[in-house]
Amino acid sequence: MLNDEQAVEIFKALSNQIRVNILQMLKEPDNNFSPQAHVIKEKGFDGGVCVSDIRIKAGLSQSTTSQYLSILLQSGLVEMKRIGQWTYYRRNQKTIEQFEKYIGLKI
């Protein structure tokens, strides 16, 4: 279960429409991004999307994309994994579900 401090970090991360859009795109990576050549199921990171693909889809610069993904990562809304020279992100469903429960209890 999330504590109030963790929830505040998530609220901050969700205070930007583009970060919300990134989370929405990551919800259905197969529909929103090209196949991820370097994410192999055996690597245990199904649904991961390369930073460069997120950048292109979101229409952002590399530095802004990295900053937004860092905020989402710090809040716990996404997970990150390096595979070779590539960095992949995917939604952290466990945290998202905990946040949904938190909101239900608090509002």
**Cβ contacts of 79 within 8 Å, gap of 6 or more:** 45, 73, 89, 90, 91, 92
pLDDT of residue 106: 60
pLDDT of residue 87: 93
pLDDT of residue 35: 87
Q: From residue 42, give the alpha-carbon distance in Å to each of 20, 38, 46, 84.
A: 29, 11, 9, 14
Boundaries of domain holding 38: 4-106
pLDDT tens per residue across all 107 residues of the chain: 899 999 999 999 999 999 999 999 999 999 999 988 777 665 678 889 999 999 999 999 999 999 999 999 999 999 999 988 889 999 999 999 999 999 986 65
Per the structure, the count of domains in the chain is 1
Whether the predicted model's global pTM rises above the 0.85 cut: yes
We report the CATH number of the domain holding residue 22 as 1.10.10.10
pLDDT of residue 10: 98
